Structure 1
Amino acid sequence: MPKAGRYHEGVPCWVALTVPDVQRAQRFYRELFGWEFVPTGPAEWVATLYGAQVAGVAAAPEGRPAGWTTYLAVADAAHTAALVRVSGGRLAREPYEVPDLGRAALAVDPLGVTFGLWQGAAVAGAGLVNEPGTFTWNEHLSADPDAARTFYRQVFGYTYDRPDGGYTVFRADGFPAGGIGPGGPGPNSPEPGPGPGPGPGPDSTDRPATDWLTQFATADADRAAAHVRTLGGTVLTGPDPTPFGRSALVRDDSGAAFALIAVPPDESAEAA
């Protein structure tokens, strides 16, 4: 994905975790990734690494399961929200001001997947990406990837390396920005399947159920997966070799699913 601070329309620019117990989540991710946390509201924190903002953490509304949400960069949140509606999606939360930082909204696509819109002002999005401990890839997985491709092309103008079929990389303003592909048993199902990562098993249905999956970079996927277990999380599949590095699908100790992928040092990006 493009470097931090250089986000284009439709590029994943931020990820946010909602959990029932924020303090527990902070302990987990502090130990796993070395994150520190800065309070930004009564029940909201920003996670930082080397002083750069890398993710958000907030208390989940009662009854809502833990999960990660992918935010896509937009130039005009109100305009994109209107495109979401006319393209068959809906708004879970209308565009709203985040004082001194930008505007945000929560949308739901026709597949039922929630994603965020972020119109950056003072903050364009994550200040550090593609480094160990930061997000490096985001992919939309569902039972109907063709419908997903149609929706996101209409809203964000995505182009695809393959116009149909299984797993495809989507491009935003020409940049390879993420993936869209088939989903399988979900993170909360009894038999979750393997397959996180931009490439391995592109036509397999052994992938997470309908959702946006966040992948975090790590220097050593095997060591990180083992650490997940010691912290009370779950390794659902892997680590397995992929053309892009060893990858594992995991759950944190609150039940939120994400992927770990080993990123070679020469492919990492510095904060802009």
Structure 2
Amino acid sequence: MPVRHEVWPAGTPNWVDLSAADPAKAAEFYASLFGWTNEASGVEFGDYIMNFKDGEAVAGIGPKPVPEMPANWSTYLASDDADATATAIQAAGGTLQMDPFDVGEFGRMFFAVAPDGASFGIWQAKQHTGATRYNEDGALAWNELHSNDLDAARAFYTAVFGYEYDDLTNPEFTYFVAKRAGETAGIGGMCGNEMAPPGTPSHWLTWFAAADCDAATARAVELGANQLMPPTDSPFGRMSIVAGLEGEMFGLIDVATTVGEMPDAAGS
């Protein structure tokens, strides 16, 4: 079972959380779907809910910062120095949604927007290293950018994090697997946004592992979710996309055939 308590290498997706109008109801949904247990952090930390799978951290759920914001799953990328990363993001053409700030003794963070319009978080770990259980049923498996300007996005993440790419493009779709410089393991995917409805903004999509994609998708619908893409065989494994109770999109993918994996404890 993949478990990691060390700090994730810079540039690696290391955490995901959901911004919801009703965090408590959302937490109940995901607990029923994935078998998570939930722990409220209290008013001091904005009533943020930590989600655990078999005692290990897997995700967070918190209130939307502004009511008009749509509910969504956010991807965080690891940083060894959040302030330096903020400077690099601005130099590469991105914008900050807020300045870096401390979250108690847990870490330092901020949100930014890349030149293609996709929002993402930065997490510099202190006591909270990010996801400690991953790549197994009910845990984070993959993070994927769906971009309306893939060339600009790739150049941006290379400038900020030094990403290199494996090109898996074929006649049916354009797809790149991002890697940390000099490494072979993929840390995330990047593709175009052409298959989304017109007007869909660039966004990072969170994928959770499912031991049985069909059963997990059916269970999500039973709990009130909407199926956006039915369970489908792909070169990367059997996968589906659903929308949670507030319309937040996430993917489900068969753990046995996931396209890539987060780095191991050695960062390789």
TM-score tier by shorter-chain length is: 0.7 to 0.9
Aligned length: 253
Structure 2 unaligned residues grouped into runs of 5+ = none
Matches within 5 A, 1:201-220: 209-220=201-212
CA offset at residue 268 of structure 1? 8.6
**SS of the residue 2:98 aligns to:** strand
CA offset at residue 111 of structure 1? 1.1
Aligned partner of 1:170 among 154, 178, 181 = 178
Q: State the one-letter code of the partner of 1:222.
A: D
After superposition, the C-alpha distances for 1:50-108 in whole angstroms (9 at most, x for unaligned) are: 11111010011211111000000010000000011011101102111011111111111
Structure 1 unaligned residues grouped into runs of 5+ = 193-207
Aligned mates of 1:24, 1:105 — CA distance in 2: 26
Which residue is 1:15 aligned to? 16
Measured on the aligned residues, the alpha-carbon RMSD in Å equals 2.6
CA offset at residue 5 of structure 1? 3.6
Cα 1:164/1:265, change in 2 over 3 Å: closer
Alignment check: 8 A CA contact 1:184 1:209 kept? no
Aligned mates of 1:185, 1:23 — CA distance in 2: 32
Matches within 5 A, 1:124-139: 124-139=129-144
Aligned mates of 1:101, 1:263 — CA distance in 2: 29
Cα 1:268/1:179, change in 2 over 3 Å: closer
Alignment check: 8 A CA contact 2:142 2:261 kept? no
Stretches of 4+ aligned residues off by more than 3 angstroms: 2-6, 265-269
Aligned mates of 1:144, 1:268 — CA distance in 2: 25
Mean CA deviation greater in 22-31 or 159-168: 159-168
Alignment check: 8 A CA contact 1:4 1:125 kept? no
Which residue is 1:31 aligned to? 32
The answer to whether residue 61 in structure 2 is matched with residue 57 in structure 1 is yes
The answer to whether residue 189 in structure 2 is matched with residue 179 in structure 1 is yes
Cα 1:107/1:231, change in 2 over 3 Å: same
TM-score where L is the length of structure 2? 0.87
Q: State the one-letter code of the partner of 1:28.
A: F
Which residue is 2:147 aligned to? 142
Alignment check: 8 A CA contact 2:238 2:257 kept? no
Alignment check: 8 A CA contact 1:146 1:164 kept? no
Alignment check: 8 A CA contact 2:213 2:253 kept? yes
Alignment check: 8 A CA contact 1:100 1:122 kept? yes
Alignment check: 8 A CA contact 1:244 1:263 kept? no
TM-score where L is the length of structure 1? 0.86
